Amino acid sequence: MQLARIVALLVIVAAVTAWLPGRAGATVFPDTAKHWAAGEIDVLARQGVLSGFPDGKFYPEKKVTRREMAKIIFSIFAAAGRIDTDRLETLPDYPDIHEGWGQQYLQLASMLLPAGTDGLFRPDSQATRRDVALLAFKAALLENDRYRLQDGKLMLEIPLPGAEAWRKLVEFKEYAGLPEQYRRSTAYLAEDPEKNDFYANAGYFFTGLAPVALLVDKGILRGYKDGGLGLDKTITRAETAVIAARLLQAGPIQANKFFLEPAGKVYHPRTIKLDQITAEKRLQQLGTFYRQEYKDPIQRGKKVYNYLIHCFQYDWQTREGLKQYTVTGIAGLMSTGRGTDDPLARYYAVLAEAAGLKAEVVQGKAINPGEAGKHTWVELLIDGRTVPVDPTYGVCTGDMYYNNFQHWSGQGYQWIK
């Protein structure tokens, strides 16, 4: 990190320390003087990264939309907002981020947070505590140069939570069952083949919960009186300011180990529940958007792929024998946001067809450096040639498995019909 950025961060941290709640001094906004978050709001307002409304008030209890959240977070973590998204080949696109104010903030937010499983980002819907926590966490990593650009992919260096972080996380009722889930899983871990040491190995097993565990460990996320962390609750302007201020005060989250994750990895799908007819209609509308916006069919197929890997998860619980997969159809996949290889491939094929591309679902066998077995993928027919696509591998790892099977074959991957 450059010296100037280190100095700038130290100045911000010093400012946060100097303006903690309870300190003497007039508040910036007339309606926050006695508010529980007055200290954090004042810190950010005095830094010029948090503003009020034209009437001079802050309205701390006003709910925050996803559009407002993106503007607030990327104003606070300004360096993160300067990432050149034009260089990102995995950047998704959604029909509803092209209107209204703050589109520059929305574009980067769409790279870091999932849209709905029906392909809409819903920038004017209310943000959740999860939205704000994850966006602020990822923005802080970008701010502190904890990222890499690799072949058009934005990868984040996620610190590996230690045992103490997991002990704190399982105290919340939503996560109390994690140790038992770890013990029952059939997934093999060389570090703990008998599954006897959850706390030492949870970071390798529950990678999708790493940001939450880290934020809980640092006291940035705190729970409610009911014993829950409440990440699905909608969030206010005051709460948003507090999470951001705590992250600034904490500084870069340090760890002895970290793992690289795609910036757009879906930690928690934003599921949309629709009946089958409406779900299919929504997918047709989304396909029309891609067909109109992307005239090049190769690029169009890739945008459909980018949408899928930024909105869905692989169903690891089914893979690990913890439950039986029962989701069927487009509406079923939208309602869960999780699928195995066959439904994910079929979802991609339906959307690709809606986007004006000829798509064939292929069932065969896949081999990779870790395993081999039955597998389903898609082949597009574009300009007389076959363009292979693997939605499942993309959803699992965030890497690009689009029109490049030959590249991956040199690294131990095979797709056999």
Residue 94: CA count within 13 A, CB half-sphere: 25
Distance CA 125, CA 116 (A): 11
Task: Supply 7's token pair.
Answer: 């100095």
More confident residue, 318 or 140: 140
Which of 99-103, 125-129, 137-141, 280-284 shows the lowest mean pLDDT across its residues? Answer: 99-103
Distance CA 18, CA 189 (A): 46
Look at strands 358-368 and 313-314 and give their pairing. Answer: unpaired
For residue 58, name the pLDDT band (cuts at 50, 70, 90). Answer: very high
H/E run at residue 149: strand 147-150
Distance CA 162, CA 335 (A): 33
Domain ranges of the chain: 3-262, 276-416
Distance CA 80, CA 89 (A): 18
For residue 26, name the pLDDT band (cuts at 50, 70, 90). Answer: low
CA nearest to 216, candidates 205, 207, 229, 226: 229
Distance CA 129, CA 98 (A): 24
**Model confidence over 320-379: pLDDT tens digits?**
777 777 777 899 999 999 999 999 999 999 999 999 999 999 999 999 988 889 999 999
Reply yes or no on whether the pLDDT at 1 is more than 50. Answer: no
CA nearest to 232, candidates 136, 135, 134, 129: 129
Distance CA 128, CA 146 (A): 25
Q: What is the mean pLDDT of residues 301-307?
A: 96
Distance CA 202, CA 197 (A): 8
Number of residues that make up the chain: 417
Q: String of b and e for 102-131 (b: at least 16 CB within 10 Å)?
A: beebbbbbbbbbbbbbbbbbbbebbbbbbb
More confident residue, 187 or 162: 162
Name the H helices within 47-102. Answer: 66-76
Distance CA 280, CA 403 (A): 26
Contact predicate 294/303, CB 8 Å:
yes
Task: Supply 127's token pair.
Answer: 């943000």
**Model confidence over 188-229: pLDDT tens digits?**
888 888 989 999 999 988 989 999 999 999 999 999 999 999
Distance CA 76, CA 140 (A): 9
The model carries a pTM of: 0.89
Distance CA 286, CA 296 (A): 17
Distance CA 370, CA 120 (A): 35
Contact predicate 156/146, CB 8 Å:
yes
Contact predicate 111/85, CB 8 Å:
yes
Q: String of b and e for 306-344 (b: at least 16 CB within 10 Å)?
A: bbbbbbbbbbbebbbeeeeeebeebbbbbbbbbbbbbbb
More confident residue, 78 or 278: 278
Task: Supply 173's token pair.
Answer: 């009722």
* Mean residue pLDDT across the chain: 89
- Three-state SS at 161: coil
Task: Supply 321's token pair.
Answer: 């024998």
Contact predicate 414/407, CB 8 Å:
no
Contact predicate 411/401, CB 8 Å:
no
**Model confidence over 81-113: pLDDT tens digits?**
888 888 888 899 999 999 999 888 999 999 999
In the 8-state DSSP scheme, what is residue 362? Answer: E
Please state, for a pLDDT cut of 90, what percent of the chain lies above it. Answer: 70
pLDDT recorded at residue 8 = 40
pLDDT recorded at residue 172 = 98
Reply yes or no on whether the pLDDT at 4 is more than 60. Answer: no
Contact predicate 274/120, CB 8 Å:
no
Name the H helices within 251-340. Answer: 276-293, 297-309, 316-319, 329-336
CA nearest to 108, candidates 90, 120, 127, 126: 90
In the 8-state DSSP scheme, what is residue 236? Answer: B
Under CATH, which number does the domain 276-416 receive?
3.10.620.30
Residue type, 377: W
